[in-house]
Structure 1
Amino acid sequence: MGVLKTPIKTMMGNLLLTSTGDVWAFYRIQSTSIPKQNEKVVDSYKKNWKQCLEELTDYQDVHFMMYPQEFRLNERLEDLYQDVAMDAEAMATYYMDETVNLLEQRLGRLTKNDFILGVRLKMERINVDAELKENVLSLFSGVTDTIVNLLGWEQHVSASFFEQFREAEGELANVVAMVGGVKLTERELIYVNRFHFLRGLDHDVSEEMDHASPEAITNTMIDPTTPSVLHLHSDEDDGYISFVVVDECHHNMAGSELFYEAQSLPFPVEIDIKAQVESKTKTKTNVNLKKQQLRESAKEQNMIGDETDASVATSDYLVRHLQDEIKKDDVHMINWIAVLIVDGKTKKACLNRAKAVKRHMKSAGMICRVPVADQLLLFYQSLPGKRLDLTHRNWLQKTTQDGVAENFFAVNADVGSKVGYFIGWIDRFDKHTDLAAAIQSSRDPIFYHPFLANQQVKGSKTRSPHVLITGDTGNGKSFLAKLLFLYITMMDVKCLYIDPKKELRKWIRKAMVHPDVKKDYPLFVEHLKTFHFITLDAEDEENWGALDPISFLPPMQAKEMVEMIISQVYSFKGKDDVHTAFLKAITTVIEQKEKGYQVGTTHVIKALTAHEEPAVRKAGAFLAEVTADSVMKLCVHDGSNDALSLDKRISIVEIEHLDLPEATDSIESYTNAQLKSSAVMYALGKYCELFGKTKEERTAEFMDEAWMITANTTGRKVEKQMRRVGRSYNNALFFISQSTKDALREEESGNYGVAFAFDEPNERPDVLTWMNMEATEENIEMLEDMYQGQCLMKDYYGRTAKMSVECLFDEWASAFETVEASAVASAEEKYL
C-alpha cells in the first residue's frame, strides 16, 4: 500500500478533499428496520440498492461505513424528564438513573449503529479551474507518521475550490436519495473522521462535535507493535482494536447480509467496505482468462480418467452466468474489501471479540481472518477519502452490483422510540434456550414513549396514540401492560386502570408491605401509596348507581347506554310496543334529571311497571327482578348515590364479583350472570370514553380484559368511540385483550398506533398480517416458538420486531406477577 498517509486534507459541508486531489461526498443513510423473515420486503430493499449501485457505478469509488455511535442515553432521558409529573420527580429521577446504570452494567458502552456512505466525485465531469487545482495540490506535502499525529492543514483551501463541485454533488445527492441518503453536515463529517481514531475509547460525542476541528481529527497515538491488534492512546483513554477481514463469501452472495448479521453480535461491531468499479474491458479479459483456466483444469482431470471436480463445474457455471450478465450495459464488476472492527480495553478482550466475530460470521456462511501484521495497513485503508488499493489482493471480493446489495447495508431491527422508557430487548428471530438467554444475547434495548404518535413526529405512519396488547392467557401481556402503566404514572398524565380481575391491588400491596422493598426502595413505596383504588362491588350499597348512565352521561348518550345495558338481559325483538314504552320512559326520566330531580335508571323500570299496557308492565316486572340484588345495581339505581367521578391523577378501578365469560365463548352460551357482567363492562367503557375527553390534560386508560367490551355489536360501538377520543384529545387507550380480530377490521385498521402481539395459537396468520409480517410457515413457527414474555411489537413508524419484555427493577417486577409459583413448580426447575 506504499507509504502510510492520512488522506484527509480539508473539508467543507459534506465534501472532503484528499491529499491526492480527490473530492468525496458523504451521506448518512437513514437506517431501515426490516424483519429479516419478511422475504418480499427484504428482496425489494436489495433490489432498490442494486438500482442505486448501478447509478453509482459511474462514480467508481464508494465507501460503506457502519459504526457504533454512542447511544447518549443520559441525554435521551434528560429530554424525557420534561414529561415527568411534579409529584413523581424524585422517583422518576431515581429510576432514570437506575436505567442508565443497569444498562451500562449489562452492555458496557451503549451504542446504536450509524450508516455512512462516501462517494468519490468524478473530476473529469467537473470544470475545475486548472490553476486553482494546481495551487491547492501544491500545498500538500505532509506525510503521516505510523505512530502518531497529523500535520494538519498546511494552508487554508478557499471556499471557491469547493463551490465548483456543488452541481456535481447535487446530482449525486439525488441518486443517494433513492436509498434514504441525507447530506452530512460539516460538524458530523468531522466527527465521522475523528471516530476512526477513537474506536472503543471513552469520549463525549457532543463534545467531540462541538470542539473538534479538522486539525485535531488524528489526535491519537497508534501503536502497531502488538500482533493482530492496534493499541490506541487518546488524551482521555486507551484501548485496543482489531480488524477482522472477510476472506470468503457465498458463491453468489445471496443471503449474505453482512451488515445485518454483524449487528446480532453481543458487542459493538464496526463494518467498513471500500469498493471500486472495474472497467468492462478488464472484466471481460479476466472472465475469459478464468474460463480458459477452468476448461484446462477440467480437460486435465478428464485426461487422467477423473470426473470434473464439483468446484470446477460450479465455477464454470458462475463464469458463464457472469459473462451473460456483464453483456448488459448497467451491470459492472465491483472489487471490494470488507473489514469488521472490534475493540476491547485489553488485548485479550479485543482478540476474544475478534474470535467471536469469526465464529458468528462462519455460521452465516462467511469466512473471516484476523491479519497478524496488516492491522495498520487496514487502519489507513479504511479511512474516509482513501481509495481501494487493488495492489493488495489478499482479501479482495469481486461481485456485480447485486452482490454488493446483498450485504444489506443500512438495515437494522429497530423498534420503539428514540426517547422513552426501557421496556425490553430486540430478538433478531434467533433460537434461544429460554427467555433469559434471549435477553442476555441482545444488545438492542427498546424504548417507548406513549404520547408521540399524535405529535406529528417525522416518519411516523400513524396519528393514533392507542395501543393494542393481545395474546393468549399466560403469555405475558398483563405483565407488559402493568410495566407500561407504572412508567406512565411517573409522567404528567392522568391515568386510569380498569382491573376486572382485581389483580393489581393484591400485588401492589404485597410489594408495599415487603420489608426489603420498604427499606431499600422508599420512593417506590411512597409512589404506590398515591394510587387511588376504587372497587365497584355491587354487594356494597354505597357503590350502587356508580355507573348509572343517567347519573354521569349527557342526555343523548345516557339514553343510548341505558338501552344497551338493558338489552343485555332483555330482548326487545318482536316487542315493538314494549320497546317504544321503554324508550319513552328513558326520555321522561332524563328530562326529570335535567330539571334537577334525583332520578336514575331504576325510575325507568318503575315507569314500565306502572304502565297501562300489560305487556309493558310484565317487562317492567321482569327487569325489576333481573336488576335487583345483582351486579347490575352498579348501573341501575335511583340516583341517590354519587356516580363514578375520578379526580385523582392515578386511579385503579376494580369490579368485584364479575362473572366474565372467556374470550372464545359465544354470546349464545353466556349465563345470566355473564350477561349482567357484560352490561357493567359496557357502562364502564362509556365512562372511560368521557374520562379521556379532557383537552386540558393528557390522559391514559388501561382496559384489561377488554375483549369483554367487543363481545357483541353494541360493545364494539362503545370501544370504537373510546378509540376515537384519541384522535382529537391527548388520550391514549391501552386495549388489553386476547384477540386481534377486532383490530383487523378494515374500517378500524388505523386506530392503534402501537401494537404488542403475544402468541395466540388460533390466530397466528391474522396476528402476523396485523403486525406487518408475512404469514409464512417460518413466521408461524416463530410465533409458536416464542417464550412467555416474548411478543411482536409494531411501533408508530410501522416497524415490527420480535421483542423480549423485561422490567429492569426487581421491586417493580414483584408487583406485576400474575401467577405465584408453587413449591412444586420451583422444585421442578431444580432437577436436570
Structure 2
Amino acid sequence: MAYPIKYIENNLVFNHDSECFAYYELIPYNYSFLSPEEKFQVHDNFRQLVAQNRDGKIHALQLATESSIRATQERSKKEITGKLKEIAYQKIDEQTKALVDMIGDNQVDYRFFIGFKLLLNEQEVSVKNIKQELLNAIQDFIGGVNHKLMGDFVSMSDGEIQRFAKMEQLLESKLSRRFKIRKLEKNDFGYIIEHLYGHTGIPYEDYDYHLPKKYTDKEVFVKHFDILKPTRSLIEEKQRYLKIQTEEETTFVAYFTINSIVGELDFPSSEIFYYQQQQFSFPIDTSMNVEIVANKKALSTVRNKKKELKDLDNHAWESDNETSNNVVEALDSVNELETSLDQSKESMYKLSYVIRVSAKDLDELKRRCDEVKDFYDDLSIKLVRPFGDMLGLHSEFIPASKRYINDYIQYVTSDFLAGLGFGATQMLGENEGIYVGYNLDTGRNVYLKPSLASQGVKGSITNALASAFIGSLGGGKSFSNNMLVYYAVLFGGQAVIVDPKAERGRWKETLPEIAHEINIVNLTSEEENKGLLDPYVILKKPKDSESLAIDILTFLTGISSRDSEKFPVLRKAIRSVTQSKHRGLLLVIDELRNEDTAISHNIADHIESFVDYDFAHLLFSDGYVNQSISLDKQLNIIQVADLVLPDAETGFEEYTTMELLSVAMLIVISTFAFAYMLIK
C-alpha cells in the first residue's frame, strides 16, 4: 500500500491527497479520583471539542510507548541535596539495577495523540488568488513528475506551508482552552511510525528522527528516503496477522475493528481508553479515524435509511408477514437519531475504530487477542479480525492516513466519542523523585517528591503537606512510612519521628550507612529526664513557651478560657514565670501559692497533683533544666515510653489520668516538631 505521508513540518503532516493534519499530544489527565460531576465536565469539554469541528477529519491515537527506567532514576539523582548525597546515589544505583532486572530497561507509558485536518478559510475570489492556486497546482504537478522520474526529493511550497501554519495557530488556541496539549515535532512522528513498524526498545524521550531539509526562497526539499526511513522493516501479510521483521527482532501483529455495537455504552463506566490501560498486562494501541458528516448531510443519510426500513416494513405487511425485530428496533433508533440531529443541529461522525495487538510469538498473540475480544464483548462491542485486511488496517495508524475500508464504519455522535475517555489515565506521584513502589492497576512505577508539598509548584501532584497511611493490621503502614522517611532524609530532608512504641531504637545498628546522622532521644521515666518536655525547656522563644504552657495546663486542669474566675489567675501566674529569669512549670505552682487566694491555691493543688504521677515529671522543671534534645542531625527519633492514648470515640471528660498525660506530652512534642519544621 502507498505510504501516506508526503512531508512533515513541525506538527503539520501533509499526505499525498493534498491534505494537511495538525497533530498534538494530549497530556493525560488524572481520572481515577474525579467525582461524577467532574467526569461529566471532562466529558462535556471533549464533546464540545469534537462538536465544534463542523467539517473535516480527526485522527486519535493511543499508543503504548516506552519510557526509560534508567533515565528516570538519573533524573531523580538531580533532586538530591544535603550531607548524605553520596549514600543516596549508591542507593538509587542499587534500586535501578533491581528495577531493570525485574522490569527491563523500559516500562510501558501510554500516550495520547490527536490530529485534526486543517481546512483553509474561504478566500475572496480574485485574479490574484486564482493565479496563486494555479501556480500551486503547477508546482504540485511538476513535483509529482520529478518524483516519478527521479524519486529522490519531495518538494513543498513554502507559501502553502505558511498558510496551513496560520490555521494551526488558531486550532491550537482553541484546543488549549480545554486541555493541556503539546505540539508534536519530527521526533514524535518518527517514534510513532517506528513503533508501528516493529521497532522497540528505544525510550520515547531518547528517540531522534534525523530529517534534513533544504530551503529555497519558495520551496522546501526533503529526501524521499528520509520520509520513508522510519518504516524500514520487512512486513509479511498473513490472512489474520502481520509478521514484522526488523534487524533486532520479529513481531507478530493483529488488528481488530468494530463489527457492531449491540448495547448502550453508559457514561460514566464505559471509558474504554481509560479502563483498557488497567485491564491488560500487555501493551495495546488504538486508532480512531473520524470523518465529520455535516448536519444536513447526516439528516439526509438518516432519512434515506428510514425510507429503506419503512419499505422493508411495508413489504412485510403486503406479504402478510410480520416485520422482524431487527427492522422494528432499527426504525426506533433511526427515528430517535433523526429527532436528535434535527434538534441539536450537530454533525454525525463516521468512526473507524482499530485496535492493534502485538506479541513475540503466535501463541502469545492468540492469547492476547482472545483477552481483548473478551474485554470489548463485556462492553457490548463485537470485534472482528478481517481476513486479508491486516495491512490496510495497519495503515490507519499512520499520521495523516485515510480510512482503509468502509465495511466497518460506525455512525456515532459527539457524546459517544467523548464517553470513550480519550486522554484519561490513573496518575500517581511525580515523574521522578523517591521510588516508593508501582501502581497495581497500571504497573507504572510511582515516585514522590515530598519537598514539593504546599509549595505551589505548577503541575506538581504532591500538594498535601500531611499524609495518612491507612490499612489493615500488618498491611505495611509502618514500613511504608519508614521507607518514605528514610529516602526523604537521603534526598536531603530532615526528619523528626515520634516513636511511642520504641520500634526504631535499633536504627543506628540496622542502618549503619547513615548511623552518624541518626539521633535517638529516649524519654523514659528516669529522674535524669525530669523536665525535658517542659514548654519552657523544649522551646527557645519565651512567647511560644508561654502559649504552650497555657495549652498544657488548661488541658490538664480542664480550666476553660471562658472560666472568668480561674483562667485569669492561671494566666497571670504563667505570665509572671515567662517574665522571670528562671522559667519552668513548677514555678507556675509557686506563683499561684504566692497569689495566696482560695482560687490560686485550688489551681496550684490541682496542678501539683500531676507532678509526681508516673512519667508526668517529664513536663515539669524547676527552671534549671537545660535543653538536651539536640536535633541537628538529619534523622531524629524521639521515644516516649508508656504512652496510653484514648480511643477516638472516647469523650474528653472520660479520659483517664494516664490518657490526659499522654495526650499532653504529644501536644508538646508535636508543637516542638512543628517549630523545628519551621526553623529548618
TM range (shorter): 0.7 to 0.9
Equivalent residues in 2 for 1:141-156, closer than 5 Å: 154-156=153-155
Paired residue secondary structure (1:165): helix
Aligned length: 652
Paired residue secondary structure (2:350): strand
Matched, 1:25 2:22: yes
**Cα contact 1:631–1:658 (8 A) shared by 2:** no
Given candidates 244, 250, 260, the residue that maps to 2:274 is: 260
Whichever residue aligns with residue 235 of structure 2, its letter is D
Post-superposition Cα deviations, 1:192-220, rounded to whole Å, max 9, x if no partner, equal 54344454622243442264665364342
Alpha-carbon distance change, 181 to 497 in structure 1, aligned in 2, over 3 angstroms: closer
Post-superposition Cα deviations, 1:468-508, rounded to whole Å, max 9, x if no partner, equal 445787665444323322321321111111122333447x6
Matched, 1:409 2:425: no
User: For residue 222 of structure 2, what is the aligned residue in structure 1?
Assistant: none
Paired residue secondary structure (2:557): coil
Aligned-residue sequence identity (percent) comes to 19
Matched, 1:419 2:422: no
Paired residue secondary structure (1:164): helix
Q: d(CA) in 2 for partners of 1:309 and 1:475?
A: 58
User: For residue 451 of structure 2, what is the aligned residue in structure 1?
Assistant: 451
User: For residue 134 of structure 1, what is the aligned residue in structure 2?
Assistant: 138
Q: d(CA) in 2 for partners of 1:376 and 1:259?
A: 23
Q: d(CA) in 2 for partners of 1:232 and 1:382?
A: 15
Post-superposition Cα deviations, 1:712-742, rounded to whole Å, max 9, x if no partner, equal xxxxxxxxxxxxxxxxxxxxxxxxxxxxxxx
The alpha carbon displacement at 1:273 in A equals 0.8
Given candidates 631, 637, 654, the residue that maps to 2:639 is: 654
Alpha-carbon distance change, 193 to 37 in structure 1, aligned in 2, over 3 angstroms: closer
**Cα contact 1:99–1:422 (8 A) shared by 2:** no
User: For residue 672 of structure 2, what is the aligned residue in structure 1?
Assistant: 687
User: For residue 609 of structure 2, what is the aligned residue in structure 1?
Assistant: 625
Equivalent residues in 2 for 1:228-243, closer than 5 Å: 228-243=240-255
The alpha carbon displacement at 1:572 in A equals 3.3
Matched, 1:369 2:354: no
Paired residue secondary structure (2:21): strand
User: For residue 583 of structure 1, what is the aligned residue in structure 2?
Assistant: 571
Q: d(CA) in 1 for partners of 2:209 and 2:593?
A: 81
Whichever residue aligns with residue 368 of structure 1, its letter is L
Q: d(CA) in 2 for partners of 1:630 and 1:306?
A: 96
Given candidates 566, 581, 593, the residue that maps to 1:609 is: 593
Matched, 1:94 2:101: no
User: For residue 739 of structure 1, what is the aligned residue in structure 2?
Assistant: none
**Cα contact 1:9–1:17 (8 A) shared by 2:** yes
Paired residue secondary structure (2:156): coil
Matched, 1:465 2:465: yes
Paired residue secondary structure (2:556): coil
- TM-score in terms of structure 1 length: 0.72
**Cα contact 1:34–1:413 (8 A) shared by 2:** yes
The alpha carbon displacement at 1:674 in A equals 0.7
The alpha carbon displacement at 1:155 in A equals 3.6
The alpha carbon displacement at 1:178 in A equals 4.2
Matched, 1:536 2:540: no
Paired residue secondary structure (2:61): strand
**Cα contact 1:224–1:375 (8 A) shared by 2:** no
Q: Which has the higher mean CA deviation after the structures are superposed, 157-166 or 266-275? A: 157-166
**Cα contact 1:220–1:232 (8 A) shared by 2:** no
The alpha carbon displacement at 1:136 in A equals 3.6
Alpha-carbon distance change, 190 to 293 in structure 1, aligned in 2, over 3 angstroms: closer
Paired residue secondary structure (1:651): strand
Paired residue secondary structure (2:53): helix
**Cα contact 2:237–2:390 (8 A) shared by 1:** no
Alpha-carbon distance change, 571 to 355 in structure 1, aligned in 2, over 3 angstroms: closer
**Cα contact 2:199–2:246 (8 A) shared by 1:** no
The alpha carbon displacement at 1:335 in A equals 0.9
Equivalent residues in 2 for 1:769-784, closer than 5 Å: none
Matched, 1:495 2:480: no
The alpha carbon displacement at 1:37 in A equals 7.5
Alpha-carbon distance change, 47 to 307 in structure 1, aligned in 2, over 3 angstroms: farther
User: For residue 336 of structure 1, what is the aligned residue in structure 2?
Assistant: 351
Q: d(CA) in 2 for partners of 1:107 and 1:273?
A: 30
Q: d(CA) in 2 for partners of 1:227 and 1:531?
A: 66
Given candidates 527, 540, 548, the residue that maps to 2:534 is: 548
The alpha carbon displacement at 1:73 in A equals 2.6
Alpha-carbon distance change, 571 to 285 in structure 1, aligned in 2, over 3 angstroms: closer
User: For residue 116 of structure 1, what is the aligned residue in structure 2?
Assistant: 113
Paired residue secondary structure (1:26): strand
Paired residue secondary structure (1:98): helix
Whichever residue aligns with residue 682 of structure 1, its letter is I
Alpha-carbon distance change, 62 to 167 in structure 1, aligned in 2, over 3 angstroms: same
The alpha carbon displacement at 1:243 in A equals 1.7
**Cα contact 2:84–2:491 (8 A) shared by 1:** no
Larger Rg, first or second structure (1 or 2): 2
Alpha-carbon distance change, 423 to 8 in structure 1, aligned in 2, over 3 angstroms: same
Whichever residue aligns with residue 608 of structure 1, its letter is L
Matched, 1:222 2:234: yes
* Structure 1 unmatched ranges of 5 or more: 145-150, 427-438, 513-523, 698-832
Q: d(CA) in 1 for partners of 2:438 and 2:408?
A: 35
Alpha-carbon distance change, 100 to 271 in structure 1, aligned in 2, over 3 angstroms: farther
Alpha-carbon distance change, 240 to 532 in structure 1, aligned in 2, over 3 angstroms: farther
Paired residue secondary structure (2:596): coil
Q: Which has the higher mean CA deviation after the structures are superposed, 11-20 or 208-217? A: 208-217
